[in-house]
Amino acid sequence: MKKMLIAGNWKMNCNSFEATVLVEYIWGGLLEKILKSEILVCPPFTSLETVVKVLEKAPVHVGAQNCHYEPKGAFTGEISIQMLSHIGVEYVIIGHSERRSIFGEDDELINNKLKAIINADLKPILCIGETLNERNEGKTFDILKFQLEKCLESVTESDIYKITIAYEPVWAIGTGISATREQIVEAHDWLRTYLISKYGSVANDVIILYGGSLNAKNAESVLSVKNVNGGLIGGASLNPEEFLIIINVAENILSNS
């Protein structure tokens, strides 16, 4: 049965007041609904505790956008997974292309974070994806394979289902140019096949999200792809009406599947 996770990556947007207004609007749009999809919002660190409290009784989960892999210590400016867990955060996004390209995070660091998140019983969302140059040079699947091999190093069959993978072509993030349905079908089929070849049939249960200019207009075309289990949504998740439309699209797809 198809599963769906609709996740909002707010990036560096919303102070705690703005975050409260945003999630109250989203929750308001979900009242009286029995949801088949899982809904997630990932605010900046300073709004996390507020958002967890506001959403305490709401069918909306809360995630962070980053973490450090050590539980504590001399890491100025960092936040540990234990600190996130303590305030009720359930998910952590890692390996986002903005963290890779702007902050120089590499696959080894991402692998350390991933293992620490699993050990702490939180849920990692691992972002992978090729740049435009890599796609134009025909290297898309080499890149995805390389990133998965490094980021999932020492992850076993018994843990693979705990990891959500987000395929985010770098060139589609924040550009308004989503990958085409054909490109998404090809990438997600490849990812599912790769995961099954490595981990066996348990990999059928791994949630694979698409991210990159997903919005209310293209949601139906993207989310209805067989091996797409939801979206990691940046810009459009900051507009609560648009986010609710995307959730509705996901709900309709699940109802008809």
Q: Which residue ranges make up the site for ligand PGA (CB under 6 A)?
A: 9, 168, 173-174, 211-214, 232-236
- Under a CB-based contact definition with an 8 Å cutoff, are residues 9 and 243 in contact? no
C-alpha Rg value of the chain to the nearest Å: 17
Q: Which of 184, 190, 194 is nearest to 228 (CA)?
A: 184
**Min CB(238)–ligand PGA separation in Å:** 9
Considering Cα of 143, then 109, then 206, then 175, what sign does the dihedral take? negative
Residue 199 or 222: the one with the smaller Cβ distance to ligand PGA is: 222
Identified catalytic residue from 96, 98, 105, 188: 96
Active site residue 96: yes
**Min CB(255)–ligand PGA separation in Å:** 25
Active site residue 86: no
**Min CB(232)–ligand PGA separation in Å:** 4
**Min CB(65)–ligand PGA separation in Å:** 9
Residue 199 or 208: the one with the smaller Cβ distance to ligand PGA is: 208
Residue 63 or 212: the one with the smaller Cβ distance to ligand PGA is: 212
Place of tokens 């797409």: 228
Residue 168 or 199: the one with the smaller Cβ distance to ligand PGA is: 168
Give the separation between CA 246 and CA 252, rounded to whole angstroms: 10
Identified catalytic residue from 38, 105, 168, 251: 168
CB neighbours (10 Å) of residue 152? 23
Closest residue to bound ligand PGA by CB:
234
94-121 burial code (b ≥16 CB/10 A, e <16): bbbbbbbeeeebebebbbbbbbbbbebe
> Would you name the residues annotated as active-site residues?
96, 168
